Amino acid sequence: MTITIVGGGASGFMAAITAAERFPDACITILEKSRTVLNKVRISGGGRCNVTHRHHELRHFIKNYPRGEKLLRKLLPHFDADATVAWFEKRGVQLKTEADGRMFPTSDSSHTIIECLIKTARNLNIEIRTSVHVDSFEKTGDAFQLKLVNGEPILTDRLLIATGGYPRAESFDWLEEHRHVIVPPLPSLFTFNTPDNYLLPLAGVAVKDAWVKISGTKHEWRGPLLITHWGFSGPAVLKLSAWGARDLAEKNYHFTCRINWLPEMKEQEVRDFLLAEKNNTAKQQIASHARFGLPSRLWKAFTEKAEIPDTLRWGDASHKVLNRMTELLTNSQYEVKGKTTFKEEFVTCGGIALADIDPETLQSRSLPGLFFAGEVMDVDGITGGFNFQNAWTTGYIVGKNIGL
């Protein structure tokens, strides 16, 4: 039996290795159009590779997938985060867990993961071909005829598409022509551009906890927030962008976001605190000493926005001034005009509609022998290792079933 895998990424390698171990007589080939394989693994986590996320109870873990939750509820019990950790440890790669739940190799290098996958594949006699671009394929009898861009034909018994997400709908044409519904691809995991934001000079300043909401929608998220040269980033914004991907695209990425910089306090509690400071520290200058544990530069920016002179003391602050500070701290509003991809970690929502795929095997419902894995399907997770876990899980499921 011949098995051909289009796409040399995480899901493709996991599928190839699992299939080689399950079906040792199969001849397995990975085709990758780039000059190197596992490119997303290489850049993930700033070159450290965020392999997965600390295991949680299934019902909590799947809540990190804006799209594909129902499918992964079926698949994760067969290969979850614990199974991923065990899989790599069995092959000599130890993983560690950081405070936020993200898991990385103890080497802090993505090359550790890449070397593990390539070495394991080669030990199983899996052929890895790079700079090979598949143009199209046809089903001929029980086999698939692949045509490469250079005209070379390849015949295979089983075919796995593990190409990852495409940024443009037309990139899916070669799959759509085989009666597969394509959910239009859109960016997920992106930062917010706020060109008129008075906080832009504070690029690099971060807060550990903020609440961010998209005005006029139900989308909101709470977590660490980072001010950038272009606007806002950090887990709170990235996760919010994933959940709101389609709604924000409909708005053409022009919308208002509201930020509560003190989410643990109610608005009245913040107001009462500021009024208490007026009495308790009457002689101290407001702008000189940050409150609420906020970074001093951020506090200073808020006081300037509230039109508080550097020399104004707490005791001389009017209630109107303190109300302006309360509003800035608990309900700041910023106009978003565009987005920026998060580093090099491009993630899309959309792809092959899950209704077209058997949820037990990930085989195409319309074309037996054709399988899908990873982000080419309409599955995507928030930042933190969840997209890689989707790749490992779906790759494993395909690998166990593709040779049957």
pLDDT in tens, the chain (404 residues): 999 999 999 999 999 999 999 999 999 999 999 999 999 999 998 899 999 999 989 999 999 999 999 999 999 999 999 999 999 999 999 999 999 999 999 999 999 999 999 999 999 999 999 999 999 999 999 999 999 999 999 999 999 999 999 888 899 999 999 989 999 999 999 999 999 999 999 999 999 999 999 999 999 999 999 999 999 999 999 999 999 999 999 999 999 999 999 999 999 999 999 999 999 999 999 999 999 999 999 999 999 999 999 999 999 999 999 999 999 999 999 999 999 986 655 688 999 999 999 999 999 999 999 999 999 999 999 989 999 999 999 999 999 999 99
Nearest-angstrom CA–CA distance, 68 and 380: 7
User: Are 120 and 91 a contacting pair, CB within 8 Å?
Assistant: yes
The predicted pLDDT at position 348 comes to: 87
Number of Cβ within 10 Å of residue 166's Cβ equals: 18
pTM (two decimals) = 0.90
The predicted pLDDT at position 18 comes to: 98
Helical segments of 306-367, H only: 319-330
Start-to-end Cα distance in the chain? 10
Interstrand relation of 370-372 and 158-161 (parallel, antiparallel or unpaired): parallel
Q: Give residues with Cβ within 8 angstroms of 218, minimum separation 6.
A: none
Nearest-angstrom CA–CA distance, 389 and 103: 11
Nearest-angstrom CA–CA distance, 268 and 259: 16
User: Are 21 and 171 a contacting pair, CB within 8 Å?
Assistant: no
Q: Look at residues 159, 237, 229 and name the one whose alpha carbon lies nearest to residue 194.
A: 229
- The one-character DSSP state at 23 is -
Using CB atoms within 10 A of its CB, is residue 264 exposed (0-12), middle (13-18) or buried (19+)? exposed
The encoded tokens of residue 85 equal: 């950790």
Number of Cβ within 10 Å of residue 307's Cβ equals: 10
Q: Look at residues 152, 345, 334 and name the one whose alpha carbon lies nearest to residue 258.
A: 334
Residue indicated by tokens 């997209």 = 387
Nearest-angstrom CA–CA distance, 8 and 14: 10
Q: Which residues pair with 351 in a beta bridge?
A: 183
| Residue 14 Ramachandran class (φ > 0 left, ψ -120 to 50 alpha, else beta) | alpha
User: Are 349 and 371 a contacting pair, CB within 8 Å?
Assistant: no
- The one-character DSSP state at 194 is -
Q: Which residues pair with 138 in a beta bridge?
A: 145
Q: Which residues pair with 136 in a beta bridge?
A: 147
